[in-house]
Amino acid sequence: MTDPRPRPARQMMPVLAVAGLAALAGLAAARADEPTIVSNSITTFGDPAKYGADFKHFDYVNPDAPKGGELSEAFVGTFDSFNPYTEKGNPAALASIGYESMMEGSSDEVGSLYCLICSTVEYPKDKAWAIFTMRPEAKFSDGSPLTADDVAFSDDLFAREGLVSFRTLLGQFVEKVEVLDPHRVKYTFKADSPPRDRIQMAGGMPVMSKAWFAKSGAKLSEPRMDPGIGSGPYMLDRFDINQRVIYKRNPNWWGKDLPNNQGRYNFDSIRLEYFGDPTGAFEGFKSGALGFRIENSSKNWATSYDFPALQKGWVVKAELPNGTIASNQSFVFNLRRDKFKDPRVREAIGLMFNFEWSNKTLFYGLYKRINSFWENSPLAATGLPSPAELAILTPLKDKLPPGVLDQPPVMAAVSGDNQLDRGNQRKASALLNEAGWPVGDDGMRRNAKGEKLTVEFLSDDPGFDRVINPFVENLVRLGVDAKMSRIDDAQYTRRTRPPFDFDIITDQLPTGEEPGSGLRQYFGSEGVNDAFNSMGLSDPAVDQLITLVLQAKSRDELSVSVKALDRVLRALRFRVPEWYNDKYRVAYYAMYEHPAALPPYALGEMDFWWYNADKAKALTAAGAFK
């Protein structure tokens, strides 16, 4: 059974993910006319960043890591575009690898961003504006200079042609962008935008080449097979459609000597081989055609790591610590469909998924159940609401689902050892009866119009068949006309984009250790017509609570507002939470190495691992590779 497999269109949208992780602080400076802060970093609540202006490298990297070699991994699916910033088409994995932003975070702390394209950022205490001073040595991969004109162009491009939810958010934050000179750009923010996210919104924007777009005539809103040019460490080398993509390290990368980048981006090339199903991908790894694997199959992990390459010591099998919040992988309802408007229907369907039986029978006991949207984090709501949470929630009482104010947060249903839990079946039956879906003479549930209660699970992953099919069987025994439809990747992409032709899909709903504006894309009414908000959630209480999260001025305020939001999201029951693992399960050929102590928030195999050429030669001589 597979773990989360990110969808490319969602995986490669870094703008708001960065914006949700940080805000402001730094080294103070002053001008005679107006006090300002000038810094190489920002943090969310004014705490000092971990790394000062004179830092040499991030603590978790090996600054002496050798450069060279190739990292190769499998990817299951297809692609028909190298534009990751549109919902049209299916972008190749890592399609955004060539782009950089003004600032970036580290993997061993929460809430800090450090200058990358910029050397400093200047702003007043109220964050009404920010001036980024750019590094004059910054260049695109074709050798052309990266200037303030490119930054302003990129902002305008995303404002005109970006995803609907992002255009909305950008419009809420940015009043104007001014080019002050070739290496300085000023953002003026709207007075009513959340101050905490202003600078990180601007600092997290990918910067694109104005000249390339003018020459090519490309549109951000349309798919294309030319990725364009960026300023990052890697650029596209070559590809075979739906077979492989190879990115090569830019030997003339302008940023290779920056302290941020020491010990990072060590591979000369990154090769992604595409497979039609996970079985083929695993066989490719076992044969030596691929070098690195993140194992997302509990069955494989428990039963299939006995192949010759492992027995001979060529392959390392390891469980590495994972301190990140669970991905919120869930069965997600399409709330745009009338049959799912009643929360009793959604709750009844959720009762029929037996995680305990699945974990024991299918997953070899390797998983934990997701409950909170901040699972594996101190931000998860627990117990009854605290007085501080009630102070936030009580004014919204007329908009809240039942139980939010006076009960513990909604937990996933617990089932027994048998596939069909009879107690949960009785509860589900009562809920459907109350919701107007009684059982007819033929054993099927129908509403007052005589329409059957039909439920289709849409999937493009054969690994999910043995999990979804028992769920379907349980629903059929409840009187629901349920089925699973497994389709190819291209069909899946089309049906999960507007106009959203699905009942239930498996999706991920990421949040973050310091959630910010990205919440509006995934859970806010602004994103109701975007693929990010796959369930189509539009709820006034959620919108107001997201605003409170964005307005939090301290870590305590953030924690309280996030826990309140978590309670409401869980009570809305628009998902059936699945499972997570608090460890990375990886296997790799022994020429790959990593720092002894990995950072808590990244596995980083493409970032700060490296290639040992001597070990690679020994493995090749031994016959490890095809």
The count of other CB atoms within 10 Å of the CB of residue 217 is 6
Pairing of strands 118-123, 129-134: antiparallel
Higher pLDDT, 33 or 550: 550
**574-590, pLDDT tens digit by residue?**
999 999 998 999 999 99
Per-residue pLDDT at 5: 39
The secondary structure of 76-118 as a DSSP string is: ES---BS-TTSSSS-BPTTTTTT--BSEE--SSSSSEEEESSE
pLDDT band at 49 (very low <50, low <70, confident <90, very high): very high
Per-residue pLDDT at 16: 35
Check whether 133 has a pLDDT greater than 80. Answer: yes
Which DSSP symbol is given to 49?
A: P
Question: In the chain, pLDDT over 70 holds for what percent of residues?
Answer: 95
**Beta-ladder partners of 423:** none
* CATH 3.40.50.720 is the classification of domain 330-580: no
Per-residue pLDDT at 34: 67
**403-435, pLDDT tens digit by residue?**
999 999 999 999 999 999 999 999 999 999 999
pLDDT band at 22 (very low <50, low <70, confident <90, very high): very low
Lowest mean pLDDT across 288-292, 473-477, 503-507, 553-557: 553-557
Q: What is the mean pLDDT of residues 194-200?
A: 89
The C-alpha atoms of residue 159 and residue 171 are separated, in whole angstroms, by: 7
Per-residue pLDDT at 379: 96
Burial of 31 (0-12, 13-18, 19+ CB in 10 A): exposed
The C-alpha atoms of residue 74 and residue 69 are separated, in whole angstroms, by: 17
Check whether 223 has a pLDDT greater than 80. Answer: yes
Domain with CATH 3.40.190.10 in the chain: 8-216
pTM: 0.84
Helix, strand or coil, per DSSP, at residue 177:
strand
Task: For domain 8-216, give the CATH number.
Answer: 3.40.190.10
Check whether 28 has a pLDDT greater than 60. Answer: no
Q: What is the mean pLDDT of residues 153-163?
A: 93
pLDDT band at 614 (very low <50, low <70, confident <90, very high): very high
Domain with CATH 3.10.105.10 in the chain: 330-580
185 alpha carbon, distance to own chain's centre:
29
Check whether 124 has a pLDDT greater than 70. Answer: yes
Per-residue pLDDT at 626: 72
pLDDT band at 232 (very low <50, low <70, confident <90, very high): very high
215 Cβ contact list (under 8 Å, min separation 6) = none
pLDDT band at 87 (very low <50, low <70, confident <90, very high): confident
